Structure formats: structure tokens, C-alpha cells
Amino acid sequence: MAKTRKMKCAIIGCGTIGNTHADGYAASPYGELVCVVDLVKSKAEAVAAKHRVPQALTDYRAMLKDPTIEAVSVCLPNYLHAPVSIACLKAGKHVLCEKPVALNVTQAKAMQAAARRYRRLLAIGVVNRFHDNVNAIRDMIRHQELGQVYHVHTVFTAHRSIPGLGGWFTTKSKAGGGVMIDWGVHFIDLILYCLDFPTPVSVSGAAYAKLGRNMRDYAYTGMWAGPPNFDGVCDVEESVSGLIRTKGPNIAFEGAWARNIGKGDMYIEFLGEKGGVRLQYGGNFTVYTSRDGALYEIQPSLRVGSMFQSEFNSFLQCAATGRKSPAHIDTVIGTQRVLDAFYLSAKKNREVAVR
Ligand SMILES: NC(=O)c1ccc[n+]([C@@H]2O[C@H](COP(=O)([O-])OP(=O)(O)OC[C@H]3O[C@@H](n4cnc5c(N)ncnc54)[C@H](O)[C@@H]3O)[C@@H](O)[C@H]2O)c1
């Protein structure tokens, strides 16, 4: 039997998600993590120590010079996705860049152009596309089991979950936005993927920045990506709502990192003529249908693997074989276009076309 080729890979950014990538590469039969990079040396060194990685660097440009490294994960704050991914592609590396693609469509298109020009794979960390339950729902919709799906409704809300107040997550120039670009991107992408990418037509969105702006007044019990930096900036929305019209179903959404309601939820509902599906985000789903006058509620039970491990394995295999990745940049640009239209709509306070 042919031996599986282990592609030498590197990670740039050893924060929360960089650690997940490191665990994934270490566990993958298709990769070998040989270099980790972080501006903060101790972070790179910690990941290197955990996984016995030979190189821990603070400047990614030094890593780019190593021709034996073929694949790179870009796990950096959003404003660095475009410049660093493009530099990696130019250096001949395949890239798995975390979500969102970038701050805006202009940057996303520059990344796509670089992938084409340098003939390397650029995959995006739209990890829900690798969730077995999500793919089961996508298959059901494809096989018309719900009939015509005419509407999707999604909620991604929390009571108190603004991340790292005053840090890069809440700084528009570094994050591109707040809850919509950070959490909303996962939900919108998952929905477009399950619907087989209907052309988005317009967005009518509203964005609210009410609870985090006066940082010292923000009451909370815990803070991920914290602690707060009161010398920093919070100029992004923490709450959103809106409607996306597509050439297929409409998509209504409600999202919040924080709001003055003590309950949060995360789900997606697909409404079809013959049946509906309610997916608890990251979890199980229920199918609702009727037959011969009877109502049915079905809770399928699937063997669900790790979506992250599937994402990393897929990236490495597609990079090695040239097979088209399910998270290929060409299929994620549409999600970024919806995000851009959302922010424009919220700014103009009216419905805008998706360009
Ligand atoms: N797919 C997911 O579910 C998921 C989950 C979390 C985060 N993310 C995405 O991953 C990205 C990173 O998020 P995070 O939560 O890990 O952030 P983080 O702040 O925890 O980590 C970012 C790391 O990048 C380092 N860094 C910053 N500038 C650098 C530079 N120029 N060179 C090298 N290192 C640099 C920082 O020191 C930090 O360790 C974001 O785009 C975020 O949206 C995705």
C-alpha cells in the first residue's frame, strides 16, 4: 500500500484558533507541523513545545523562505488575512486562511487573484462545511426531501459575549465589524452552502453598537478573548438583524454578542414546502414533516466526527492532489459579498444590492 504523503506545514498566529490548527495538524495523517509563528514568542514556543515542532518564529517572512514548507494556516486577526495570505501564496505555499475571508470583498478578490496567479490552493476556514450534520442537511435539500425551501431563519444570540473588549475583535479597522463578521459569517456561510449557493440579491440589515461603546459601563461575568483593554477601541456592532434576499430562499437573521435579554440561542431553521429542519448550531437537527394527515418529528442520529479535523485533513489532501476543496476561495467569496452588503445597508439604513 502506498505511504500517505505528509505535507510539511506551518501556522502563523498561535492564539485560540492557531492552537486548534496545531492540534489538527499534529493528529493528521497528511501533515507534519514543522514551524509555528507568533509575534509573541512565548505563544509560538508553547505550541512548539506541545507538539515538538522544530521551529518557533516571530516573523512569518523567515518561514516563507523555507521551500520545504508547502502548506500554511493563517490564524491571524482579520485585517492580516489578506496581506499575509497573499504573501504566502506568492511564496508558493497552499493556504488555509481562517474566516472571515478578509475585511471586505476587495481584499477577498485580491486573495482569490493571488491563488490563481500563483496556482496554489486558497481554502477558507468555513469549518461548518465539514460538519457531518450540516452535510446531511445539505444532502436532504439537494435530494428535494424538504420540497422547495423558501425561507431560512437563523438566530445567533448571547446575553453577554463581547470578546476582548478594546482588543482587535472590537476594533473596526482590525476586525472589519463585530458580531456579524465574527459569528454571522459562520451562519450565513453554512446556510448558503446547504442551499447550494443561491445568488444573493439584496440585504436589508440593521447594526447596533449600544452596550460595548462605553466600555467601562459594560457589565459582564466572563469574557472570551479578554480581559478588557480600556485604552483600546470598541467601535463595532454587538447586535444585528436583517433579511437577505437570494434568487432562492430568503434568509432572516438575528444575532448578538450581547443584549439585555438573559437568554441566548444558536440555531438555523430551513423551511420547505414538504418539510422543515431545525439545526442546533454545532449540534443535532430535527426534521419536521407530514404524511397522510399525520405530523412527524424525526431526530436523526448520525456518527459525527470532528469538523475541524475533517477541515484540516481535507485542506492537506486537496493541496496534495489538486482536488477542489469544499472550502475553496471561489465558493466563499459570496459569503463575503453578503457581509459587505450587510454593512453598507446598515450604514445607509436601507436595503442594498449585493455586488
Ligand atoms: N473557525 C473558527 O471557528 C474560528 C474560531 C476562532 C477564531 N477564528 C478566526 O481566527 C482568527 C484568529 O482568531 P483568534 O481567536 O485565534 O485570535 P487571537 O487573538 O487569539 O490570536 C491571534 C494571534 O495572532 C498573533 N499575531 C498578531 N499579529 C501577528 C503577526 N503580524 N505575525 C504573527 N502573529 C501575529 C497574536 O499574537 C495572537 O497570538 C480570526 O480571523 C478569527 O475570526 C475562527
Q: Do residues 259 and 157 make contact, with C-beta atoms less than 8 angstroms apart? A: yes
Q: For residue 81, how far is its CA from the centre of ligand 1 (angstroms)?
A: 10
340 lies in a domain? no
Tell me which residue has its CA closest to atom 31 in ligand 1. Answer: 39
Instruction: Count CA within 13 A, CB hemisphere, residue 171.
Output: 15
Within the chain, where are the H helices?
Answer: 16-27, 41-51, 60-64, 81-90, 105-117, 132-142, 172-175, 179, 185-194, 307-321, 333-348
33 lies in a domain? yes
92 lies in a domain? yes
Q: For residue 33, how far is its CA from the centre of ligand 1 (angstroms)?
A: 18
Same domain, 158 and 141: yes
Q: How far is Cα 58 from Cα 48, in angstroms, rounded to an integer?
A: 12
pLDDT tens-digit map of 84-97? 999 999 999 999 99
Same domain, 144 and 287: yes
Note the pLDDT of residue 305.
Answer: 96
Handedness of CA 173, 353, 335, 189 (dihedral sign): positive
The domain that holds 301 is classified in CATH as 3.30.360.10
Name the domain count of the chain: 2
Q: For residue 38, how far is its CA from the centre of ligand 1 (angstroms)?
A: 10
Helix (H) or strand (E) holding 153: strand 149-157
336 lies in a domain? no
Q: How far is Cα 70 from Cα 298, in angstroms, rounded to an integer?
A: 45
Residue type at 249? P
337 lies in a domain? no
Whole-number CA gyration radius for the chain: 21
Helix (H) or strand (E) holding 94: strand 94-98
Note the pLDDT of residue 5.
Answer: 82
347 lies in a domain? no
12, 17, 124, 336, best to mutate for ligand 1 pocket (most atoms within 8 Å of CB): 17
Note the pLDDT of residue 4.
Answer: 74
349 lies in a domain? no
107 lies in a domain? yes
In the chain, pLDDT over 90 holds for what percent of residues? Answer: 99
Going from the first residue of the chain to its last (355 residues), give the mean pLDDT of each consecutive group of 10, the final group possibly shorter: 82 98 98 98 98 98 98 98 98 98 98 98 98 98 98 98 98 98 98 98 98 96 96 98 98 98 98 98 98 97 96 98 97 98 98 97
Tell me the residue range of the domain where 196 lies. Answer: 132-305
In the chain, pLDDT over 70 holds for what percent of residues? Answer: 99
64, 84, 98, 311, best to mutate for ligand 1 pocket (most atoms within 8 Å of CB): 98
Cross-strand pairs, 287: 277, 298
Q: For residue 77, how far is its CA from the centre of ligand 1 (angstroms)?
A: 5
Same domain, 75 and 156: no
Q: For the sheet containing 7-12, what is the strand order?
A: 55-57, 31-37, 7-12, 71-74, 94-98, 122-125
218 close to ligand 1 (CB < 6 Angstrom): no
pLDDT tens-digit map of 137-192? 999 999 999 999 999 999 999 999 999 999 999 999 999 999 999 999 999 999 99
Q: For residue 29, how far is its CA from the centre of ligand 1 (angstroms)?
A: 25
Same domain, 163 and 244: yes
Same domain, 290 and 277: yes
Q: How far is Cα 255 from Cα 180, in angstroms, rounded to an integer?
A: 7
Cell 453577554 locates to 160
The domain that holds 15 is classified in CATH as 3.40.50.720
User: Which residue from 285, 223, 313 is spatially nearest to 6, judged by alpha carbons?
Assistant: 313
Mark 41-64 as b/e (b = at least 16 C-beta within 10 Å). eebbbbbbeebebebbbeebeebb
15 close to ligand 1 (CB < 6 Angstrom): yes
Q: For residue 114, how far is its CA from the centre of ligand 1 (angstroms)?
A: 22
144 close to ligand 1 (CB < 6 Angstrom): no
